[in-house]
Amino acid sequence: MNGWVVAVGQALLTVVVAPLLIGWMRLVRARMEGRAGAGIGQPWRDLRKLARKEPISPADAGWLFVAAPPVLVASSLLIAAIVPLVSTRSVVGGSVDLIAVVGLLLLGTVALALAALDTGTAFGGMGASREMVIAALVEPTVLLAVFALSARAGSTSLAAIVNAGVHHPDRLVSPAGLLAAAALAVAILAETGRMPVDNPATHLELTMVHEAMVLEYAGRDLALVELAAAMRLSLLLGLLANLFAPWGVATGIGWFGLVIGATALIVKLTALGGVLAAGEVLLAKVRLFRIPELLAGSFVLALLAVTASYVLA
């Protein structure tokens, strides 16, 4: 029962915090660009407005288009419930495997890409093809980057990796840990469609990736897609923080430890979100045909991290 409390609490916390993180990042960008900004609660107001509107499907779209938003949200909620965000104790015990989590991330990506193809539009097909190219390079990088840490922990369980970081923080500042952190950071930028891989604030047809896949969504379906995108960003940033800076993560199920873990997670997300938003202001978007080179470089960093974890062990 205690594991279920942690799972439900982490899922609810992610749902509440994810839109606020997007609002915080937009506010940081606005202030750095000399604008007032709409406030961190604006994404929640946008989701509420969209949820009140009727969803509309294209004439040629089938069941894949309708099923993609619930699948995207459900996979994100499942990840939020089982990964060590607040506590390393999970409802499934220590079997929260890295490969299973990456598979759930890929499930949501594939569902949205299939929905974009199901619309039969040129923009949908273009966005889906670009997303699959990025995913084919990002997912192996995520696997290798975290696997470099699992070699030291002796397990591919994310809870075991975070526990190892809590009890042996010196391993996190090793060459393997630094290389893995750099590789995973680049992979997260690509997976969540942030700068310099994709610009979430643009609707320019020749450059957009994520926006091209969701152009046909409206109403409640669009609200689900936007909520899932915010949740995936929060989940990946939270995992990045807890894998390489696990301070504050609860290793038990006591209420005090869980409160400390939730507070630490919010602080980490706030810091990482601010850094990411500042970077989006200062960096330019990479040309579309240069993105594979950037992701290939992150894959090489992850491969070097795995090699260093065994050589320098």
- List pLDDT tens digits, range 46-88: 999 999 998 888 888 888 899 999 999 999 999 999 898 998 8
- Cα–Cα distance between 147 and 270 in angstroms, integer? 26
- Cα–Cα distance between 225 and 26 in angstroms, integer? 18
Burial (CB count <10 Å: 0-12, 13-18, 19+), residue 190: buried
Give the distance from CA 190 to its chain's centroid: 9
Per-residue pLDDT, 240: 92
For residue 179, what are the CA distances in angstroms to 193, 237, 279?
22, 17, 20
- Cα–Cα distance between 97 and 276 in angstroms, integer? 27
Give this prediction's pTM: 0.90
Tokens 């894998």 identify what position?
Answer: 243
Helices (H), 52-121: 63-82, 98-118
Contacts 24+ apart (CB under 8 A), 283-287: 283/195, 283/196, 284/196, 285/195, 285/196, 285/197, 285/198, 285/199, 285/207, 286/196, 286/197
By the 8 A CB rule, do 213 and 127 touch? yes
Contacts 24+ apart (CB under 8 A), 106-110: 106/135, 106/139, 107/71, 107/75, 108/71, 108/72, 108/75, 108/76, 108/228, 108/232, 109/135, 109/191, 110/135
Q: Is the dihedral of CA 44, 45, 48, 49 positive or negative?
A: negative
**Best CA proximity match to 301, nearest among 172, 59, 138:** 138
Secondary structure class of 99 (helix, strand, coil): helix
What are the φ/ψ torsions at residue 198 (nearest 5 degrees)?
Answer: -145, 150
Q: 225-251 pLDDT, tens per residue?
A: 999 999 999 999 999 999 888 888 887
Please list the ranges in the chain whose pLDDT falls under 70.
Answer: 1, 91-96, 202-207, 313
